[in-house]
């Protein structure tokens, strides 16, 4: 990531797809196919963020003191808006939207995600989001209770940090991450950990942003999925993947999907994929991980969505009908090509 003379990056993206610009300063453009947080190209001389103490159910106010490089005027500064956040709890969840699935409480995606959250609150899960309607939130949980096969006792694990749409480019991802860090320190945690990869992958943290935020890699699975951590002390033990997740491979043939209800889209699209597979006589098995114990012993570092084919891990990207049909078409072509060359 390019940095300016002040040492800060030219973007505050957390989940971007990068594309280098052609101007003197690199600019970065968010891939429209991945609706993740992506800021514009700007030079910050300094950014001071003050986050109020998070209290359950109480709005968190964030204020900025911003000084831009000389070429930026008052109009540019005014684009950066302060944001208020609220912590979703058992008491207010029915009245709050959950950001990644914004629709009626009768919608299967919303029902699925809210039920999953309700069951996790007692495990220490925190869901902090913008009071405005849209994708701007962070979800984290004590690592001992994370639905992933990791050994990270004493750490906080970030399930998801997502800032998208009109919220991009305002530094909100930094606000949310900073709030998680301060909350974790207040709770006596050793540090924070999160999943990523050497190159940006859908629904995983951007490694460039993590590196800028002083996260480092502490473990890596055979499929390239990495565990990154931010320790709060030099003597903190490194988190690691459990042995079952370090070598993602299964014995079953055909397509096998491991998934949880952490992602609301699974409630809608997993049945769709199952129907397509049945219609096309494709071998497909969906394994719904319904407990922490099942998830923590899964054969994959990613449990929200992990698709295997003939024993090999192929993707963590959620499939809708179009993506799955495209995958089947590609696989059919590969099989034909292999048959031709035999």
Which of 2-11, 82-91, 167-176, 277-286 reaches the highest mean pLDDT?
Answer: 277-286
The number of C-alpha atoms within 13 Å of 179 and in the hemisphere containing its C-beta is 31
For residues 119 and 291, what is the distance between their CA atoms, to the nearest angstrom? 10
Closest CA to 271 of 99, 104, 108: 108
In this predicted structure, the answer to whether residue 4 has a pLDDT above a threshold of 70 is no
In this predicted structure, the answer to whether residue 241 has a pLDDT above a threshold of 70 is yes
Q: Taking the model in full, what pTM does it have?
A: 0.76
Query: What is the per-residue pLDDT for 100?
Result: 65
For residues 222 and 211, what is the distance between their CA atoms, to the nearest angstrom? 21
pLDDT digits (tens, 9 = 90+) for 92-113: 999 988 866 656 677 899 999 9
CB 115 within 8 A of CB 261: yes
Q: How does 202-239 read in b/e, with b if 16+ C-beta sit within 10 Å?
A: ebbbbbbbbebbebebbbbbebebbbbbbbbeeeeebb
SS3 content of the chain, % helix, strand, coil (to 5): 25, 25, 45
């Amino acid at each position: 990531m390019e940095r300016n003379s002040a040492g800060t990056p030219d973007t505050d993206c957390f989940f971007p797809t990068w594309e280098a610009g052609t101007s003197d300063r690199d600019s970065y453009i968010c891939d429209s196919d991945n609706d993740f947080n992506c800021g514009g190209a700007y030079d910050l001389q300094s950014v001071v963020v003050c986050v109020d103490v998070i209290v359950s159910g109480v709005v968190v106010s964030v204020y900025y003191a911003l000084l831009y490089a000389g070429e930026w005027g008052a109009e540019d500064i005014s684009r950066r808006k302060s944001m208020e956040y609220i912590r979703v709890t058992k008491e207010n969840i029915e009245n709050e939207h959950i950001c990644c699935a914004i629709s009626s409480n009768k919608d299967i995606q919303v029902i699925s995600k809210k039920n999953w959250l309700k069951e996790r609150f007692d495990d220490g899960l925190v869901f902090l989001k913008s009071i405005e309607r849209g994708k701007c939130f962070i979800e984290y949980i004590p690592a001992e209770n994370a639905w992933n096969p990791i050994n990270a006792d004493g750490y906080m694990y970030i399930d998801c940090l997502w800032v998208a749409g009109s919220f991009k480019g305002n530094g909100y991802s930094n606000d949310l991450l900073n709030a998680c860090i301060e909350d974790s320190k207040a709770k006596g945690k050793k540090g924070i950990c999160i999943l990523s990869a050497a190159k940006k992958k859908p629904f995983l943290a951007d490694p460039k942003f993590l590196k800028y935020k002083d996260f480092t890699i502490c473990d890596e699975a055979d499929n390239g999925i990495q565990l990154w951590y931010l320790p709060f002390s030099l003597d903190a033990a490194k988190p690691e993947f459990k042995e079952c997740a370090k070598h993602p491979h299964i014995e079953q043939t055909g397509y096998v999907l491991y998934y949880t209800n952490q992602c609301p889209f699974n409630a809608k699209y997993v049945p769709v994929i199952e129907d397509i597979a049945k219609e096309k006589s494709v071998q497909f098995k969906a394994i719904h991980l319904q407990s922490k114990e099942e998830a923590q012993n899964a054969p994959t570092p990613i449990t929200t969505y992990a698709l295997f084919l003939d024993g090999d891990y192929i993707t963590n990207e959620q499939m809708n009908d179009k993506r799955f049909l495209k995958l089947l078409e590609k696989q059919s072509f590969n099989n034909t090509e292999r048959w031709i060359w035999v």
